[in-house]
Amino acid sequence: MPKSITFGLGPEFLQRDGLAETVAPWEDGLRAQTGRGSFEWWYFDAHLDDGSTAVIVFATKPLLARKGPLKPQLVFTITRPDGRKLDRSAVFPADQFSASREGCNVRIGPNRVTGDLHRYELHAANEDLAADLVFTGSVPPWRPGAGKNYYDSALTRYFAWLPAIPYGAVSGTLTYDGRTHAVSGVGYHDHNWGNVGLNDVMSHWVWGRARVGIYSLIFVEMNAAPAYSGQKVPVFMLARDDQILIGDGGPLTLATADVTAHPSGRDYPRQLDFRWQPADASLGRVHLALREPELIEAVSLLTAFPRWQQRLLRLLANPYYFRFNAALELQIDLPGLQAVEQGRALYEIMLLR
């Protein structure tokens, strides 16, 4: 009999985790156990006015090492304005990790991030790269319900997600190529934790976000593994300035077209249409049309394994990650609000099977 996914929506799920409707600072502190079977990471990215980008992740262990012991990892990537990627990810001894349960205060070796859901100070350094950045939220922290999906009837196996800064400003410095560069731009921070292997419960997902005009968006469609009958897990947030207008992802659907082959042997659509359309037509509708995607990253998830294992594993699966920057047209038709905006959106396609 197929398994089902339980969404952590409603007062009973908030009560279960001691949550209120409003996100509290402790929710961005350490939430999972650090030992075998669990994982947790704090993700930050910045898109800067000089054309550079930075992605920094503080993790209790590498993504594919959930079943192992605490193995803290710093994922640190700077992309220069010319598009060249500089990656200095590294793992550290377990005794060089600490994290508070009262709020975001995470240390991995000499790297540290602290914050209060609105303002975060981050320092990361590895070899010839360094980042000293301040993230300041423009859109308040948000989560869909309790921010958890459960993958068993006993509600013990779960994946959780908290966008602490759905959209905000970034300023500070990046150091690379032997120089320190003053930077400013926009940024995002979220926090993930759980005790399920994502490749065990998920087949693939499309996950994106955008800022067009005065509107901020997060749009997601996750597709569960065959054991869960491919059940769809939609997530949607729409904010105008600092006011969240929509946080219910249930009515969100995704249609794709113009499928293109990639040299990896995987393929991806070049046309995506997300539609938020409740059964009650009086609630309005929202349409996101993503077109002309620019492929900015394509990487096999098998690269985390030794080469001899990669060849063996590729016989069984070819998990792949794509990241795009696309043209977006946003059409909003809500009670008392009609708008059409155009801009750019970042989105990823993760193929776990």
Q: First CA to last CA across the chain, in angstroms?
A: 21
Q: What is the DSSP letter of 307?
A: H
CA dist., res. 304 & res. 173, Å (int): 29
pLDDT for 264 equals: 84
Q: Is the pLDDT of residue 201 over 50?
A: yes
pTM for the full predicted model: 0.92
CA dist., res. 224 & res. 8, Å (int): 16
Same domain (yes/no): 64, 134: yes
Query: For 35-62, what is each residue's pLDDT tens digit?
Result: 999 999 999 999 999 999 999 999 999 8
CA dist 28 → 37, 114, 120, 311 (Å): 20, 10, 11, 39
Element (H, E) at 312: helix 307-314
Query: For 226-235, what is each residue's pLDDT tens digit?
Result: 999 999 999 9
Element (H, E) at 12: helix 11-16
pLDDT for 265 equals: 86
Query: For 90-144, what is each residue's pLDDT tens digit?
Result: 999 999 999 999 999 999 999 999 999 999 999 999 889 999 999 999 999 999 9
Same domain (yes/no): 177, 228: no
Segments in 174-296 forming alpha helices (H): 198-201
Q: Is the pLDDT of residue 65 over 50?
A: yes
Same domain (yes/no): 291, 347: yes
- Mean pLDDT for the chain? 93
Mean pLDDT along residues 164-184: 97
pLDDT tier for residue 88 given thresholds of 50, 70 and 90: confident
Out of 167, 196, 225, pick the residue that ends a domain.
Answer: 196
Secondary structure (H, E, C), 117-157: CCEEEEEEEECCEEEEEEEEECCCCCCCCCCEEECCCCCCC
- CA quadruple 223, 224, 225, 231: dihedral positive or negative? negative
Q: Is the pLDDT of residue 308 over 60?
A: no
Same domain (yes/no): 148, 268: no
Query: For 185-199, what is each residue's pLDDT tens digit?
Result: 999 999 999 999 888
Query: For 247-278, what is each residue's pLDDT tens digit?
Result: 999 999 999 999 999 998 899 999 999 999 99
pLDDT for 171 equals: 98
* pLDDT, greater one: 309 or 146: 146
Out of 177, 196, 215, pick the residue that ends a domain.
Answer: 196
Same domain (yes/no): 40, 15: yes
Q: Is the pLDDT of residue 239 over 60?
A: yes
Same domain (yes/no): 180, 240: no
CA dist., res. 346 & res. 185, Å (int): 15
Same domain (yes/no): 120, 184: yes
Q: Is the pLDDT of residue 64 over 80?
A: no
E-strand ranges in 61-117 read 73-79, 85-87, 90-91, 97-99, 104-108, 111-115
CA dist., res. 242 & res. 240, Å (int): 6
Mean pLDDT along residues 282-296: 96
CATH code for the domain of 90: 2.40.370.10
Same domain (yes/no): 39, 67: yes
Q: Is the pLDDT of residue 150 over 50?
A: yes
CATH code for the domain of 244: 2.40.370
CA dist., res. 187 & res. 211, Å (int): 11
Same domain (yes/no): 322, 190: no
pLDDT for 216 equals: 97
Q: Which of 50-54, 307-311, 332-336 has the lowest mean pLDDT?
A: 307-311
In percent, how much of the chain has pLDDT > 70? 95
Q: Which of 162-176, 195-209, 271-285 has the lowest mean pLDDT?
A: 195-209
Same domain (yes/no): 154, 14: yes
Q: Which two tokens stand for residue 35?
A: 């030992």
Taking the CB of residue 6, how many other CB atoms lie within 10 A of it?
Answer: 14
Out of 131, 163, 196, pick the residue that ends a domain.
Answer: 196
One-letter amino acid at 249 equals G
- Number of independent structural domains in the chain: 2
Q: What is the DSSP letter of 64?
A: T
Same domain (yes/no): 191, 289: no
Query: For 337-353, what is each residue's pLDDT tens digit?
Result: 999 999 999 999 999 87
Same domain (yes/no): 296, 332: yes
pLDDT for 66 equals: 87
Q: Which domain holds residue 203?
A: 199-353
Helix (H, G, I), strand (E, B) or coil at 24: coil
